[in-house]
Homo-oligomer: A and B are copies of this chain.
Amino acid sequence: MAGDEGRSERLMDDTEGTDDALLPLRVWLALFSSVKQIEGVVRRNLREDFASTLPRFDLLSQLYRIPDGLTMGELSNRLMVTNGNVTGLINRLLAEGLVERLVDAEDRRVQRVSLTRKGRRLFATMAPANQAWINGVMAGLGTDDLRDLHRLLTKLKSSAAHHGQDTDSPRE
């Protein structure tokens, strides 16, 4: 965490100033470093309060939303990690009785993974804690700030979806 913030700060210093041409790059560095900073808070709280990790929390949160379960490939896609990493995580959760394997109703060769009741109960205690951490992180911003920030980020995502492709591989 500290190293990464140091990195972002240093990059910020390089672009310090009022030159509008550098504004997009400065916004990007501020975006990147605020996400790393907040991820650091969530990681620490997960470790201290739940002896847990961010990949584990993300995996539980995916499974919580889909009671019918997900295949390893689907989990791997959703979490943007390799199949190997998902397998390792799932094996530990299986050993702890937090997830179980189901055989797909339509294709018996497909194995799905879903939360057990114990797993659902665990995530149901983690989710409100996560929400409280995020509320804490954002306590310095008022409702208007948060609304503005949400609106600008929504605009940014739309801009990135439309213009992110333009440079060298037009797709629309």
Contacts and interface: CB of A to CB of B under 8 A. Distances in A.
Contacts of A163: 136-140
Copies in the complex: 2
5 contacts: A6-B78, A36-B80, A41-B165, A139-B159, A148-B152
B134 A159 contact: no
Nearest to A13: B65
Contacts of A160: 34, 37-38, 41, 137-138
Interface string A132-162: 1111111111010111111011111111111
B133 A155 contact: no
A31 B169 contact: no
Interface string A60-71: 011001000000
A169 to B, nearest CB: 7
Listed from nearest, the 10 A-B pairs whose CB atoms lie closest are A140-B159, A3-B77, A41-B164, A30-B153, A24-B138, A139-B163, A4-B80, A23-B146, A137-B160, A149-B152
Contacts of A22: 131
Contact of A140 (B4, B48, B155): B155
Given A154-B30, A159-B140, A79 B7 contact: yes
A169 B40 CA distance: 14
A136 B166 contact: yes
A35 interface: yes
A158 B140 contact: yes
Nearest to A4: B80
